[in-house]
Structure 1
Amino acid sequence: MQDLAAKPLDDTVAKPVTKLNLIAGLLDVFHKQNILYCHWKSNEHLDASMTGDTDLDVLFDIKQKGKLLQHLHTLGFKKFDSIKEKQYHDIEDYIGLDIPSGKVVHLHAHFRMTMGETYLKGYQLALEDKILKSRVYDETFGIYTSSPAFELILLYFREALKLRNREALKMSLLNRVNYSENVMKEYRWLKERVTDSQIETILKSLFNNYRPIYNLVTGRFNRKELQKLALLIKKEFKKYRLYSPAEATLTRWYREATVLFSRKLATLLNRPIMSQRINPRGGLTIAVVGADGSGKSTVTADLQNTFRTKLDVYRVYLGRGDGKISLARKVLLGARKMVGPEPKKGTAKKGNRNSGNKQKGLLANVYKCIEAMLVANEKSRNLERMQQAKQKGMLVICDRFPQNQIMGYNDGPLLNHLAKSSNPVFRAISDLEAKVYKKAENNPPDLVIKLIAEAEVVEARKPGETSLEMLEAKIAGIKALQFKDSCQVITIDASQPLGTVLATVKKAIWNNYR
């Protein structure tokens, strides 16, 4: 079939659309380096793909794979592996970060036409060459796409091969025959751009006895009709099966059950359990530190929301304030409120490291010891989970990080003032707490982001919570914090607009990925 590279899909003069810088650069490289490709499905919403809101599903010539990967690396794309239950033959995931927008770009690279049921994709159809040869150039978006006729045929094939026994049961019992509006929107968009004769020409080139398939592909688009189509194309593509029928069923059931169970378990237990994609070269741990009001929780929440759309992200709270705390500490805090109001925050004097810890009376020390040990236990448990998540290849985002240099605040030890107490019990408890903070010191993150702003700026964000004097001490302490040489430390002016801060942080994270 003729390559219609220079011809738009219609006769109107197309207007260029805004693309993310990274995507524009990617397409520019493809064209200049003569990479044979086409965006082969879901072209109805290419506008969303150009702005990074949906994946780029691109078919490549497998003979050019080595050349392609070199250019992807130059552009900053990194290969991530889907979890085993979602890995499919000759489909690979490359993730990039568009720095100006802070958006994650997912290039779903297809080197073979692998399709089929969710969690399996048990067919590999030898259609790549025909799809690439019939590609067309979309002037509006500046990208090669599959021809609408071929894309419509593939839509029928994809949805037919996705059908499982449960869909047949739903059709029988619940009359669930029609597809969702999103799928129908894509179907109608393609149907408007295709003639039956174009479909017939393609199907003639694929099958000797094409007429039964042609009748279904040009007929109604619903599950009942596609079930009939599935029987025909499974017979035609029998030699392209990747699994035997029994193996396919068992594999699909196992994968689906594993993924669903893992997601539920991760939500229930807050454990670092993989469900999407991880870095096969190793995980990355970052920590965001700063004084109260510097934006730690805001930044870490945004990072989690940005990266978890495509990657396995584990966010862990390592402070002692308003984050996720244990049930035991919730009970303790409840009991403390019943006894009397807590001391006002930020009453310590500037430069006094032990201020804020010194409270008179045995009862106060007992309470402080219990609280400090519960906090230390939480930090120890979360540090272990942090290490587990990194070992699995996840992106670990730490809201705060324990430090062993400033006592009494800035997430430092709370019981250092008892290290030389005349009471041996207090000394022993202080020693136990110190071991947790030493553990954190010996296992630092890969990247630490220090959010620094003037005391007046951060106080205005949380007025009345902490005195200016204490804020100045905390900010000075954050500036002075040091970490092991293996840890990269970046200081960011937290008084800048949030978008600027986030762009700087995301760029630092991406640069630290191997």
Structure 2
Amino acid sequence: MPPVEPATMLPIAVELFRAFNKAGLKYGIIQDLTSLHDGLSGRDDLDVLLDKHDYPAFCSIVSQLHGRRSVSLSCYDNVCAGREDWFLPDFSRGRYLHLDMHIGGRVGREFRKRYPVFDYPAIRGWGSISIDGVSIPVVSPEDELRITIARFAFRAGAPPWRQWISVGDSWKDQFARVPFLSSESGLRVVEYELGGGRTVSCRFLQSAEVLAAHRGDLARLRRSIREMSGFTGRYAVADAAVHLARKTSYLALRLLQRWMPGSFPPKRRPAAGGFVVALIGPDGMGKSTQADRLTQIFRWKFGCAQAYVGTGDGNGWWLRKALQGLVFPHRRRLKSLARHDGKDSLGRNGAKEGVAAAALALWAVLIAFERYAVVKRAHRWATRGVIVICDRWPQALHRGYLDGPTIPPHLFSVPGLSVLARLEQRLYQKMAECRPHLTLHLSRILPSPRSESRETSKKKHSMRG
């Protein structure tokens, strides 16, 4: 097993497993031990087998550490009874620990894992690794091989004339510790106790290059596992049909999600549903950078989308962008009308001022319609379980500031423009009812007067020198 450096391990993982050991939970890591380093570092998931009697204590511990459970669509391979995805955030590293928690290990086809075989008492031997003073139970090499062959029994495929079916060319990459040395090649037997005193054996061949299982033994193992689970008859045909239907729907949904993001439920979403996160703050504070970073972090495991509610270089309506290019040369006059309550500080009156006021009103209403559409779409995505990261959010606190209304109050009394002014106000009132679930304010930290005076004295001293 590759060593895990404590420096790269998430602090939340150390705290979690220390709490498990203190509470006396019966648990252990059973799969993907080769990626244990990535799992503890927050770059992969950890397959944890838990005794069903310790499930309430498990939920209590992970809830105290701000853990969240996720749910997935039934068409995906990881949806089965006794299996849950838990995510524990590590705020110090900007990552989260992903626990693939199993009450009982199930086997079957990739999209039809319906047969429980391995619970905690079924594991014959446990080892352990110590990281940063914390002992983490891991499955023994022999039990890891038994789990691998049982899973392979439902996925094996080879021509009918072949008696031995190879597990795969890269079978060594599936084991952190090879069960038997390569020099001890030859015929071996692995046994399964399937309840009621019934024992099923499966022969396999292991050499330095090949790990192969006997075809007849794999078929007998599949039948015995189905009978143990209460499924007798020709369930192999039903498993293949359900597997094919779910795989087809899975591929179709993934393709549609790429074409129309946010229009379909994601593969995995928080158990409490999706939510809207809004980043607000002055220009130049890095809202777009933080929105991209949050989207990248959450999109790794959850359905996540990004929305832009501003009027800058982000995504927007083509009509607004085209009109923005025409209005941009007159931006000083429009801003002057908006900030000085309709009194043009440039000192120009007459028809030009009326045209500028009308352009300002049309421009403001168009922006309000676009923002309202983005706000409604963000909440619509959230109802489907998507985490929506919004760059900016309409703030109707002050006119002309914080992405709020921009039509000056004096235009409410101008015939024709009063209709546009009231329309803009009504749109922002509707947007005020659609608040984000979480708002993050970005602010600039100003230096203290003492530190500023020190920097000034240092500059003066360097200039004198």
Question: What TM-score do you get using the length of structure 1 for normalisation?
Answer: 0.71
| Structure-2 separation of matches of 1:179 and 1:193 | 18
| Structure-2 separation of matches of 1:345 and 1:189 | 73
Which residue does the alignment assign to 1:34? 24
Question: What is the CA-CA distance between 1:103 and the residue it aligns to?
Answer: 0.7
CA offsets 1:287-306 (integer angstroms, 9 cap, x no match): 11011111111112111111
Which residue does the alignment assign to 1:317? 308
Structure 1's 68 and 178: CA in aligned 2 closer, same or farther, altered over 3 A?
closer
* Greater mean deviation of Cα atoms: 74-83 or 343-352: 343-352
Which residue does the alignment assign to 1:484? none
Mind listing any 5+ residue stretches in structure 2 that lack a counterpart? 448-465
Question: What is the CA-CA distance between 1:60 and the residue it aligns to?
Answer: 0.6
Structure 1's 225 and 311: CA in aligned 2 closer, same or farther, altered over 3 A?
same
**AA aligned opposite 1:156:** I
**1:292 maps onto 2:283 in alignment:** yes
Which residue does the alignment assign to 2:223? 235
Which residue does the alignment assign to 1:408? 400
Summarize the alignment of residues 122-137 of structure 1 with structure 2, pairs less than 5 Å apart. 122-126=114-118, 128-131=120-123, 133-137=124-128
Question: What is the CA-CA distance between 1:110 and the residue it aligns to?
Answer: 0.4
**AA aligned opposite 2:121:** D
CA offsets 1:49-74 (integer angstroms, 9 cap, x no match): 22111111100111221122112212
Summarize the alignment of residues 293-308 of structure 1 with structure 2, pairs less than 5 Å apart. 293-308=284-299
Query: Contact between 1:353 and 1:406, CA under 8 Å: does it hold in 2?
Result: no
Q: Secondary structure at the match of 1:151?
A: helix
**1:55 maps onto 2:45 in alignment:** yes
Which residue does the alignment assign to 1:157? 150
Summarize the alignment of residues 61-140 of structure 1 with structure 2, pairs less than 5 Å apart. 61-86=51-76, 87-126=79-118, 128-131=120-123, 133-139=124-130
Q: Secondary structure at the match of 1:122?
A: strand
**1:147 maps onto 2:137 in alignment:** no
| Structure-1 separation of matches of 2:266 and 2:181 | 38
| Structure-2 separation of matches of 1:369 and 1:345 | 13
Which residue does the alignment assign to 2:450? none
Structure 1's 160 and 216: CA in aligned 2 closer, same or farther, altered over 3 A?
farther
Question: What TM-score do you get using the length of structure 2 for normalisation?
Answer: 0.78
Bigger fraction of residues in strand: 2
Q: Secondary structure at the match of 1:40?
A: strand
Structure 1's 352 and 22: CA in aligned 2 closer, same or farther, altered over 3 A?
farther
**AA aligned opposite 1:34:** G
CA offsets 1:76-122 (integer angstroms, 9 cap, x no match): 21222122323212101111101211211111110111133333323
Which residue does the alignment assign to 1:265? 256
Question: What is the CA-CA distance between 1:438 and the residue it aligns to?
Answer: 0.9
**Which structure has the bigger radius of gyration?**
2
Summarize the alignment of residues 409-424 of structure 1 with structure 2, pairs less than 5 Å apart. 409-417=401-409, 419-424=411-416
Question: What is the CA-CA distance between 1:44 and the residue it aligns to?
Answer: 1.7
| Structure-1 separation of matches of 2:291 and 2:436 | 14
Query: Contact between 2:95 and 2:297, CA under 8 Å: does it hold in 1?
Result: yes
Q: 1:388 aligns with which of 380, 395, 399?
A: 380
Query: Contact between 1:285 and 1:397, CA under 8 Å: does it hold in 2?
Result: yes
| Structure-2 separation of matches of 1:195 and 1:21 | 40
* Greater mean deviation of Cα atoms: 271-280 or 48-57: 271-280
Q: 2:203 aligns with which of 201, 206, 214?
A: 214
CA offsets 1:305-361 (integer angstroms, 9 cap, x no match): 112222222322111212211233344345x28xx8463699759964769999945
Mind listing any 5+ residue stretches in structure 1 that lack a counterpart? 1-8, 457-514
Q: Secondary structure at the match of 1:203?
A: strand
Structure 1's 420 and 348: CA in aligned 2 closer, same or farther, altered over 3 A?
closer
Q: 2:444 aligns with which of 453, 460, 463?
A: 453
Q: 2:173 aligns with which of 164, 168, 185?
A: 185
Question: What is the CA-CA distance between 1:192 and the residue it aligns to?
Answer: 5.8
Structure 1's 118 and 226: CA in aligned 2 closer, same or farther, altered over 3 A?
farther
CA offsets 1:27-66 (integer angstroms, 9 cap, x no match): 1111111111110011122111221111111001112211
Query: Contact between 2:10 and 2:93, CA under 8 Å: does it hold in 1?
Result: yes
Structure 1's 283 and 91: CA in aligned 2 closer, same or farther, altered over 3 A?
same
**AA aligned opposite 1:42:** D
* Greater mean deviation of Cα atoms: 77-86 or 255-264: 255-264
Structure 1's 415 and 230: CA in aligned 2 closer, same or farther, altered over 3 A?
farther
**AA aligned opposite 1:155:** T
Summarize the alignment of residues 344-363 of structure 1 with structure 2, pairs less than 5 Å apart. 352=340, 360-361=352-353, 363=355
| Structure-2 separation of matches of 1:438 and 1:263 | 37
Question: What is the CA-CA distance between 1:388 and the residue it aligns to?
Answer: 2.0
Bigger fraction of residues in helix: 1
| Structure-1 separation of matches of 2:101 and 2:15 | 17
**AA aligned opposite 2:420:** I
Structure 1's 122 and 282: CA in aligned 2 closer, same or farther, altered over 3 A?
closer
Which residue does the alignment assign to 1:343? 331
Structure 1's 331 and 205: CA in aligned 2 closer, same or farther, altered over 3 A?
same
